[in-house]
Structure 1
Amino acid sequence: MSIKFLAEDDRPREKFLLKGKNSLSDSELLAIIMGSGNRDETAVELARRILSSVDNNWHQLSLLSVKDLMKFKGVGEAKAISIATALEIGRRRASQEVLEKPIISSSRSAYSILKNHLSDLRTEEFWAIFLNQSNKIIHITQLTQGGINQSIVDIRILFKTALEHFSTGIIVAHNHPSGNLKPSTEDLTITQKIKEAGELLNIQLLDHLIIIQNSYFSFSDEGLL
Protein backbone atom coordinates (compact mmCIF):
# COMPACT_ATOMS: atom_id res chain seq x y z
CA MET A 1 0.00 0.00 0.00
CA SER A 2 1.57 3.27 -1.10
CA ILE A 3 1.04 6.75 0.28
CA LYS A 4 -1.28 7.71 -2.57
CA PHE A 5 -3.92 5.25 -1.31
CA LEU A 6 -4.03 6.73 2.20
CA ALA A 7 -6.65 9.21 3.36
CA GLU A 8 -5.60 12.67 2.21
CA ASP A 9 -5.00 13.93 5.74
CA ASP A 10 -2.54 11.04 6.28
CA ARG A 11 -0.42 11.62 3.20
CA PRO A 12 2.80 13.24 4.44
CA ARG A 13 3.61 15.18 1.27
CA GLU A 14 0.09 16.51 0.85
CA LYS A 15 -0.10 17.32 4.55
CA PHE A 16 3.20 19.20 4.25
CA LEU A 17 1.75 21.35 1.46
CA LEU A 18 -1.68 21.85 3.04
CA LYS A 19 -0.75 22.38 6.68
CA GLY A 20 2.98 23.12 6.70
CA LYS A 21 6.04 21.23 7.87
CA ASN A 22 5.32 21.84 11.56
CA SER A 23 2.14 19.79 11.31
CA LEU A 24 4.06 16.60 10.49
CA SER A 25 4.93 13.99 13.07
CA ASP A 26 8.43 12.51 13.24
CA SER A 27 7.23 9.36 11.50
CA GLU A 28 5.66 11.41 8.70
CA LEU A 29 8.90 13.33 8.18
CA LEU A 30 10.85 10.09 7.99
CA ALA A 31 8.25 8.64 5.62
CA ILE A 32 8.79 11.54 3.20
CA ILE A 33 12.54 10.87 3.25
CA MET A 34 12.00 7.17 2.48
CA GLY A 35 9.28 7.74 -0.12
CA SER A 36 7.63 4.33 0.25
CA GLY A 37 7.10 1.47 2.67
CA ASN A 38 7.07 -2.26 2.02
CA ARG A 39 4.51 -4.84 0.98
CA ASP A 40 3.00 -4.98 4.46
CA GLU A 41 3.47 -1.42 5.74
CA THR A 42 2.93 2.09 4.48
CA ALA A 43 5.88 4.45 4.58
CA VAL A 44 4.46 6.04 7.72
CA GLU A 45 4.05 2.69 9.45
CA LEU A 46 7.57 1.64 8.51
CA ALA A 47 8.92 4.98 9.73
CA ARG A 48 7.03 4.59 12.98
CA ARG A 49 8.57 1.15 13.54
CA ILE A 50 12.09 2.39 12.77
CA LEU A 51 11.75 5.31 15.18
CA SER A 52 10.26 3.09 17.85
CA SER A 53 13.38 0.91 17.71
CA VAL A 54 15.47 3.89 18.84
CA ASP A 55 12.97 5.22 21.40
CA ASN A 56 11.82 7.88 18.92
CA ASN A 57 15.13 9.67 19.29
CA TRP A 58 16.70 11.25 16.21
CA HIS A 59 20.14 11.26 17.82
CA GLN A 60 19.94 7.51 18.38
CA LEU A 61 18.72 6.99 14.84
CA SER A 62 21.71 8.90 13.50
CA LEU A 63 24.00 6.35 15.16
CA LEU A 64 22.65 3.55 12.98
CA SER A 65 24.78 2.61 10.00
CA VAL A 66 23.48 2.01 6.49
CA LYS A 67 23.68 -1.73 7.19
CA ASP A 68 21.72 -1.30 10.42
CA LEU A 69 18.97 0.56 8.59
CA MET A 70 18.84 -2.07 5.85
CA LYS A 71 17.83 -4.67 8.44
CA PHE A 72 14.32 -3.17 8.41
CA LYS A 73 12.09 -4.80 5.80
CA GLY A 74 11.55 -2.38 2.95
CA VAL A 75 14.70 -0.36 3.55
CA GLY A 76 17.20 -0.95 0.79
CA GLU A 77 20.54 0.71 0.31
CA ALA A 78 19.08 3.77 -1.42
CA LYS A 79 16.56 4.42 1.37
CA ALA A 80 19.16 3.83 4.05
CA ILE A 81 21.52 6.33 2.42
CA SER A 82 18.69 8.87 2.11
CA ILE A 83 17.92 8.55 5.83
CA ALA A 84 21.60 8.84 6.80
CA THR A 85 22.05 11.83 4.50
CA ALA A 86 19.06 13.70 5.95
CA LEU A 87 20.32 13.12 9.47
CA GLU A 88 23.79 14.34 8.52
CA ILE A 89 22.30 17.52 7.04
CA GLY A 90 20.46 18.04 10.34
CA ARG A 91 23.69 17.56 12.28
CA ARG A 92 25.57 20.08 10.14
CA ARG A 93 22.72 22.58 10.38
CA ALA A 94 22.69 22.31 14.17
CA SER A 95 26.43 23.00 14.29
CA GLN A 96 26.18 26.21 12.29
CA GLU A 97 25.33 29.61 13.68
CA VAL A 98 22.30 31.42 12.33
CA LEU A 99 23.44 34.21 10.03
CA GLU A 100 22.48 37.61 11.37
CA LYS A 101 20.43 39.57 8.86
CA PRO A 102 21.85 43.00 8.03
CA ILE A 103 19.94 46.00 9.38
CA ILE A 104 19.22 49.05 7.23
CA SER A 105 19.69 52.08 9.46
CA SER A 106 20.09 54.82 6.86
CA SER A 107 20.15 55.58 3.17
CA ARG A 108 23.92 55.10 3.28
CA SER A 109 23.59 51.52 4.55
CA ALA A 110 21.03 50.75 1.82
CA TYR A 111 23.35 52.29 -0.78
CA SER A 112 26.29 50.22 0.42
CA ILE A 113 24.30 47.05 -0.29
CA LEU A 114 22.76 48.10 -3.60
CA LYS A 115 25.72 49.88 -5.20
CA ASN A 116 27.36 46.59 -6.17
CA HIS A 117 24.25 45.71 -8.15
CA LEU A 118 23.57 49.07 -9.77
CA SER A 119 26.50 51.46 -9.88
CA ASP A 120 28.30 50.35 -13.06
CA LEU A 121 25.45 49.33 -15.37
CA ARG A 122 24.90 50.67 -18.88
CA THR A 123 21.17 50.04 -18.78
CA GLU A 124 18.65 50.94 -16.12
CA GLU A 125 17.50 48.36 -13.56
CA PHE A 126 15.00 48.52 -10.71
CA TRP A 127 15.75 46.67 -7.44
CA ALA A 128 14.05 46.33 -4.07
CA ILE A 129 15.08 45.47 -0.53
CA PHE A 130 12.38 43.91 1.65
CA LEU A 131 12.59 44.45 5.41
CA ASN A 132 10.93 43.21 8.58
CA GLN A 133 9.71 45.39 11.47
CA SER A 134 13.26 45.64 12.83
CA ASN A 135 14.52 46.89 9.45
CA LYS A 136 16.43 43.65 8.96
CA ILE A 137 16.80 42.51 5.36
CA ILE A 138 14.52 39.63 4.43
CA HIS A 139 15.02 39.59 0.67
CA ILE A 140 16.74 41.51 -2.13
CA THR A 141 15.74 41.18 -5.77
CA GLN A 142 15.89 42.76 -9.20
CA LEU A 143 12.42 43.63 -10.43
CA THR A 144 13.02 45.02 -13.92
CA GLN A 145 15.74 45.62 -16.46
CA GLY A 146 15.16 48.32 -19.02
CA GLY A 147 16.84 50.54 -21.55
CA ILE A 148 19.33 53.37 -21.41
CA ASN A 149 17.08 55.84 -19.59
CA GLN A 150 14.04 53.99 -18.24
CA SER A 151 13.09 50.83 -16.35
CA ILE A 152 9.41 50.64 -15.46
CA VAL A 153 8.49 48.62 -12.38
CA ASP A 154 5.19 46.77 -12.04
CA ILE A 155 3.88 47.83 -8.63
CA ARG A 156 1.74 44.68 -8.42
CA ILE A 157 4.83 42.47 -8.65
CA LEU A 158 6.67 44.64 -6.12
CA PHE A 159 3.99 44.22 -3.47
CA LYS A 160 3.29 40.58 -4.37
CA THR A 161 6.93 39.91 -3.51
CA ALA A 162 6.64 41.96 -0.32
CA LEU A 163 3.60 39.97 0.80
CA GLU A 164 5.25 36.64 -0.02
CA HIS A 165 8.12 37.54 2.30
CA PHE A 166 5.89 39.04 5.02
CA SER A 167 7.73 42.33 4.62
CA THR A 168 6.63 45.43 6.52
CA GLY A 169 8.98 47.85 4.80
CA ILE A 170 10.61 48.23 1.40
CA ILE A 171 13.41 50.26 -0.12
CA VAL A 172 13.43 50.57 -3.89
CA ALA A 173 16.30 51.69 -6.05
CA HIS A 174 17.24 52.18 -9.66
CA ASN A 175 20.29 53.48 -11.47
CA HIS A 176 20.80 56.33 -13.91
CA PRO A 177 23.39 55.23 -16.50
CA SER A 178 23.65 58.86 -17.61
CA GLY A 179 25.24 59.77 -14.29
CA ASN A 180 22.55 62.36 -13.56
CA LEU A 181 21.28 62.11 -9.96
CA LYS A 182 18.26 64.39 -10.45
CA PRO A 183 14.98 62.43 -10.26
CA SER A 184 12.89 62.55 -13.40
CA THR A 185 9.17 63.25 -13.50
CA GLU A 186 8.63 59.50 -13.97
CA ASP A 187 10.78 58.79 -10.88
CA LEU A 188 8.68 61.13 -8.77
CA THR A 189 5.43 59.66 -10.09
CA ILE A 190 6.34 56.00 -9.52
CA THR A 191 7.63 56.80 -6.04
CA GLN A 192 4.32 58.37 -5.08
CA LYS A 193 2.38 55.43 -6.52
CA ILE A 194 4.49 52.93 -4.58
CA LYS A 195 4.07 54.94 -1.38
CA GLU A 196 0.28 55.09 -1.79
CA ALA A 197 -0.01 51.38 -2.60
CA GLY A 198 2.10 50.56 0.45
CA GLU A 199 -0.14 52.60 2.71
CA LEU A 200 -3.14 50.49 1.64
CA LEU A 201 -1.26 47.28 2.47
CA ASN A 202 0.46 48.64 5.60
CA ILE A 203 3.86 48.15 3.95
CA GLN A 204 5.94 51.31 4.27
CA LEU A 205 8.09 52.67 1.49
CA LEU A 206 11.16 53.67 3.51
CA ASP A 207 13.25 55.10 0.69
CA HIS A 208 13.86 55.28 -3.04
CA LEU A 209 17.46 55.55 -4.13
CA ILE A 210 18.84 56.71 -7.45
CA ILE A 211 22.31 55.26 -7.85
CA ILE A 212 25.17 56.28 -10.13
CA GLN A 213 28.77 55.10 -10.17
CA ASN A 214 30.09 56.92 -7.11
CA SER A 215 27.06 58.50 -5.46
CA TYR A 216 23.32 58.26 -4.82
CA PHE A 217 20.18 60.32 -4.30
CA SER A 218 17.80 59.47 -1.44
CA PHE A 219 14.15 60.47 -1.69
CA SER A 220 13.86 60.08 2.08
CA ASP A 221 16.86 62.25 2.88
CA GLU A 222 15.56 64.93 0.53
CA GLY A 223 12.10 64.95 2.12
CA LEU A 224 10.34 63.55 -0.96
CA LEU A 225 8.54 60.79 0.91
Structure 2
Amino acid sequence: MKPREKLIKYGAKSLLNEELVAILLRTGTQNKPVIQLAKEVLELLENITDLKVLSVEDLMTIKGISNAKATSIIASVELIRRIDERKEPKKLIFKESKDIYYLLKEDMTYLNQEHLKIICVDVKGKLIKIETLYIGTNNYISVSIKELFKTAIKLSAYGIILVHNHPSGDATPSLADDELTSRVEEASEILNITLVDHIIIGKNQFYSYRGQRRVKV
Protein backbone atom coordinates (compact mmCIF):
# COMPACT_ATOMS: atom_id res chain seq x y z
CA MET A 1 0.00 0.00 0.00
CA LYS A 2 1.37 3.41 -1.00
CA PRO A 3 1.96 5.98 1.75
CA ARG A 4 -0.87 8.28 0.64
CA GLU A 5 -3.35 5.41 0.51
CA LYS A 6 -2.18 4.20 3.92
CA LEU A 7 -2.62 7.68 5.37
CA ILE A 8 -6.14 8.01 4.00
CA LYS A 9 -7.18 4.58 5.24
CA TYR A 10 -5.42 4.39 8.61
CA GLY A 11 -4.40 7.97 9.46
CA ALA A 12 -1.05 9.77 9.55
CA LYS A 13 0.02 8.14 12.82
CA SER A 14 0.15 4.76 11.11
CA LEU A 15 2.94 5.84 8.76
CA LEU A 16 6.64 5.20 9.28
CA ASN A 17 9.03 8.15 9.19
CA GLU A 18 10.20 7.29 5.68
CA GLU A 19 6.58 7.08 4.50
CA LEU A 20 5.85 10.57 5.83
CA VAL A 21 8.95 11.94 4.09
CA ALA A 22 7.99 10.08 0.90
CA ILE A 23 4.69 11.95 0.79
CA LEU A 24 6.57 15.25 0.95
CA LEU A 25 8.94 14.13 -1.83
CA ARG A 26 5.97 12.94 -3.96
CA THR A 27 8.08 11.01 -6.51
CA GLY A 28 11.32 9.15 -6.74
CA THR A 29 13.69 9.02 -9.69
CA GLN A 30 14.05 6.61 -12.60
CA ASN A 31 16.51 4.51 -10.63
CA LYS A 32 15.37 5.18 -7.09
CA PRO A 33 11.87 4.63 -5.64
CA VAL A 34 10.50 7.43 -3.48
CA ILE A 35 10.69 5.29 -0.31
CA GLN A 36 14.40 4.68 -0.89
CA LEU A 37 14.92 8.39 -1.44
CA ALA A 38 13.09 9.13 1.80
CA LYS A 39 15.27 6.65 3.68
CA GLU A 40 18.38 8.40 2.41
CA VAL A 41 17.03 11.71 3.73
CA LEU A 42 16.54 10.13 7.14
CA GLU A 43 20.04 8.64 7.04
CA LEU A 44 21.36 12.21 7.18
CA LEU A 45 19.94 12.47 10.62
CA GLU A 46 20.94 11.12 14.00
CA ASN A 47 17.25 11.24 14.87
CA ILE A 48 14.07 12.74 13.49
CA THR A 49 14.45 16.01 15.48
CA ASP A 50 17.47 16.93 13.37
CA LEU A 51 15.08 17.81 10.54
CA LYS A 52 14.79 21.17 12.29
CA VAL A 53 18.35 22.13 11.38
CA LEU A 54 18.64 20.59 7.92
CA SER A 55 19.34 23.04 5.11
CA VAL A 56 18.39 22.88 1.44
CA GLU A 57 22.06 22.34 0.64
CA ASP A 58 22.22 19.37 3.02
CA LEU A 59 19.28 17.68 1.35
CA MET A 60 20.56 18.30 -2.17
CA THR A 61 23.71 16.32 -1.45
CA ILE A 62 21.47 13.27 -1.95
CA LYS A 63 21.28 12.18 -5.56
CA GLY A 64 17.67 12.54 -6.65
CA ILE A 65 16.75 15.39 -4.28
CA SER A 66 15.98 18.43 -6.39
CA ASN A 67 15.62 22.00 -5.26
CA ALA A 68 11.83 21.57 -5.30
CA LYS A 69 11.92 18.44 -3.11
CA ALA A 70 14.39 19.99 -0.67
CA THR A 71 12.43 23.21 -0.27
CA SER A 72 9.21 21.24 0.22
CA ILE A 73 10.71 19.41 3.21
CA ILE A 74 12.27 22.55 4.71
CA ALA A 75 9.01 24.51 4.31
CA SER A 76 7.00 21.74 5.98
CA VAL A 77 9.38 21.61 8.95
CA GLU A 78 9.31 25.40 9.31
CA LEU A 79 5.50 25.44 9.25
CA ILE A 80 5.38 22.87 12.05
CA ARG A 81 7.90 24.91 14.05
CA ARG A 82 5.82 28.08 13.69
CA ILE A 83 2.63 26.29 14.71
CA ASP A 84 4.42 24.98 17.81
CA GLU A 85 5.64 28.49 18.65
CA ARG A 86 2.09 29.83 18.60
CA LYS A 87 0.99 27.40 21.25
CA GLU A 88 0.83 28.97 24.68
CA PRO A 89 1.48 26.29 27.30
CA LYS A 90 0.61 28.70 30.13
CA LYS A 91 0.18 25.87 32.60
CA LEU A 92 3.91 25.19 32.54
CA ILE A 93 5.58 25.97 35.84
CA PHE A 94 9.35 25.91 36.08
CA LYS A 95 10.59 24.61 39.41
CA GLU A 96 14.08 23.47 38.45
CA SER A 97 16.66 24.29 35.80
CA LYS A 98 16.21 20.85 34.25
CA ASP A 99 12.58 21.74 33.47
CA ILE A 100 13.86 24.40 31.08
CA TYR A 101 16.42 22.05 29.55
CA TYR A 102 13.87 19.34 28.80
CA LEU A 103 11.46 21.87 27.32
CA LEU A 104 13.99 23.37 24.89
CA LYS A 105 16.63 20.69 24.27
CA GLU A 106 15.10 19.38 21.03
CA ASP A 107 14.86 22.86 19.55
CA MET A 108 18.29 24.07 20.63
CA THR A 109 20.74 21.18 20.93
CA TYR A 110 21.55 20.79 17.23
CA LEU A 111 21.52 24.42 16.09
CA ASN A 112 24.61 25.50 14.16
CA GLN A 113 24.50 29.05 15.54
CA GLU A 114 24.03 30.40 19.03
CA HIS A 115 20.41 31.34 19.76
CA LEU A 116 19.39 33.34 22.81
CA LYS A 117 15.89 32.92 24.20
CA ILE A 118 14.24 34.75 27.05
CA ILE A 119 11.55 33.12 29.16
CA CYS A 120 9.25 35.44 31.09
CA VAL A 121 7.68 34.00 34.24
CA ASP A 122 5.39 35.17 37.03
CA VAL A 123 6.18 35.05 40.74
CA LYS A 124 5.19 31.35 40.91
CA GLY A 125 7.50 30.38 38.05
CA LYS A 126 4.59 30.05 35.64
CA LEU A 127 5.39 30.56 31.97
CA ILE A 128 4.20 33.83 30.46
CA LYS A 129 6.14 33.86 27.19
CA ILE A 130 9.16 32.39 25.40
CA GLU A 131 10.86 34.56 22.81
CA THR A 132 13.95 34.18 20.63
CA LEU A 133 15.87 37.43 20.96
CA TYR A 134 19.12 36.90 19.10
CA ILE A 135 20.83 34.60 16.66
CA GLY A 136 24.59 34.97 16.60
CA THR A 137 27.61 33.33 15.01
CA ASN A 138 28.65 29.76 15.77
CA ASN A 139 30.06 30.88 19.12
CA TYR A 140 29.03 34.47 19.89
CA ILE A 141 25.93 36.59 20.46
CA SER A 142 25.95 40.39 20.73
CA VAL A 143 23.21 41.43 23.15
CA SER A 144 21.50 44.72 23.91
CA ILE A 145 20.46 44.71 27.56
CA LYS A 146 17.72 47.21 26.80
CA GLU A 147 16.18 44.94 24.16
CA LEU A 148 16.61 41.92 26.39
CA PHE A 149 14.26 43.31 29.05
CA LYS A 150 11.79 44.90 26.64
CA THR A 151 9.28 42.03 26.58
CA ALA A 152 9.54 41.34 30.31
CA ILE A 153 8.75 44.98 31.08
CA LYS A 154 5.83 45.00 28.64
CA LEU A 155 4.34 41.87 30.21
CA SER A 156 5.03 42.97 33.80
CA ALA A 157 6.93 39.73 34.36
CA TYR A 158 8.28 38.89 37.80
CA GLY A 159 11.41 37.33 36.36
CA ILE A 160 13.28 36.15 33.30
CA ILE A 161 15.26 33.05 32.44
CA LEU A 162 17.94 33.35 29.79
CA VAL A 163 18.64 30.30 27.66
CA HIS A 164 21.23 29.92 24.94
CA ASN A 165 22.94 27.02 23.22
CA HIS A 166 26.55 26.13 22.52
CA PRO A 167 26.84 24.62 19.01
CA SER A 168 30.01 22.80 20.15
CA GLY A 169 27.87 20.70 22.49
CA ASP A 170 29.93 21.69 25.53
CA ALA A 171 27.75 23.64 27.98
CA THR A 172 30.68 25.07 29.96
CA PRO A 173 30.19 28.86 30.17
CA SER A 174 32.62 31.18 28.41
CA LEU A 175 33.95 34.50 29.67
CA ALA A 176 31.43 36.22 27.41
CA ASP A 177 28.64 34.19 29.03
CA ASP A 178 29.85 35.24 32.48
CA GLU A 179 29.96 38.86 31.40
CA LEU A 180 26.46 38.74 29.94
CA THR A 181 25.09 37.19 33.13
CA SER A 182 26.69 39.89 35.27
CA ARG A 183 25.31 42.67 33.06
CA VAL A 184 21.82 41.20 33.17
CA GLU A 185 21.98 40.75 36.96
CA GLU A 186 22.93 44.42 37.39
CA ALA A 187 20.09 45.56 35.13
CA SER A 188 17.60 43.23 36.80
CA GLU A 189 18.21 44.89 40.16
CA ILE A 190 17.57 48.33 38.70
CA LEU A 191 14.42 47.21 36.84
CA ASN A 192 13.17 45.02 39.71
CA ILE A 193 12.86 42.02 37.38
CA THR A 194 14.51 38.91 38.80
CA LEU A 195 17.07 36.99 36.76
CA VAL A 196 15.84 33.55 37.80
CA ASP A 197 18.55 31.65 35.91
CA HIS A 198 20.77 31.63 32.86
CA ILE A 199 20.95 28.21 31.25
CA ILE A 200 23.36 27.02 28.57
CA ILE A 201 22.24 24.04 26.53
CA GLY A 202 24.82 21.62 25.14
CA LYS A 203 24.56 18.08 23.84
CA ASN A 204 23.19 15.83 26.58
CA GLN A 205 24.16 18.46 29.14
CA PHE A 206 23.34 21.92 30.41
CA TYR A 207 24.85 24.55 32.68
CA SER A 208 22.81 26.48 35.25
CA TYR A 209 24.15 29.75 36.63
CA ARG A 210 21.67 29.49 39.48
CA GLY A 211 22.99 26.07 40.41
CA GLN A 212 26.56 27.03 39.45
CA ARG A 213 27.13 23.64 37.87
CA ARG A 214 27.10 21.68 34.64
CA VAL A 215 24.68 18.78 34.53
CA LYS A 216 25.02 15.79 32.18
CA VAL A 217 21.75 14.09 31.22
Per the TM alignment, residue 166 of structure 1 is displaced from its structure 2 partner at its CA by 1.1
Structure 2 counterpart SS, 1:209: strand
Q: Which of 200, 203, 206 is the equivalent residue of 2:196? A: 206
Residue 170 of structure 2 corresponds to residue 170 of structure 1? no
Larger radius of gyration: 1
Q: Distance in 1 between matches of 2:172 and 2:147?
A: 26
Residue 187 of structure 2 corresponds to residue 197 of structure 1? yes
What CA RMSD, in Å, does the superposition of the two structures yield over aligned residues?
A: 1.6
Q: Which of 104, 118, 122 is the equivalent residue of 1:132? A: 122
The question of whether the paired residues in 1 share the 8 Å contact of 2:200 and 2:208 is answered with yes
Structure 2, unaligned stretches of length 5 or more? 1-87
Q: Which of 187, 192, 199 is the equivalent residue of 2:177? A: 187
Structure 1, unaligned stretches of length 5 or more? 1-97
Equivalences for 1:53-72 in 2 at 5 Å? none
Per the TM alignment, residue 99 of structure 1 is displaced from its structure 2 partner at its CA by 6.6
Per the TM alignment, residue 160 of structure 1 is displaced from its structure 2 partner at its CA by 1.0
The question of whether the paired residues in 2 share the 8 Å contact of 1:101 and 1:138 is answered with no
1:36-81 deviation per Cα after TM superposition (whole angstroms, max 9, x unaligned): xxxxxxxxxxxxxxxxxxxxxxxxxxxxxxxxxxxxxxxxxxxxxx
The question of whether the paired residues in 2 share the 8 Å contact of 1:171 and 1:206 is answered with yes
AA aligned to 2:151 is T
Q: Which of 124, 136, 143 is the equivalent residue of 2:133? A: 143
AA aligned to 1:181 is A
Cα distance 1:105–1:149, how it changes in 2: closer, same or farther (>3 A)? same
Structure 1 counterpart SS, 2:139: coil
Q: Which of 198, 211, 216 is the equivalent residue of 1:221? A: 211
The question of whether the paired residues in 2 share the 8 Å contact of 1:124 and 1:151 is answered with yes
Equivalences for 1:30-179 in 2 at 5 Å? 100-179=90-169
Q: Distance in 2 between matches of 1:159 and 1:100?
A: 20
Q: Distance in 1 between matches of 2:130 and 2:90?
A: 15
Structure 2 counterpart SS, 1:149: coil
Cα distance 1:99–1:149, how it changes in 2: closer, same or farther (>3 A)? closer
What is the percent sequence identity of the aligned residues? 38
* Count, aligned residues: 126
Per the TM alignment, residue 153 of structure 1 is displaced from its structure 2 partner at its CA by 2.1
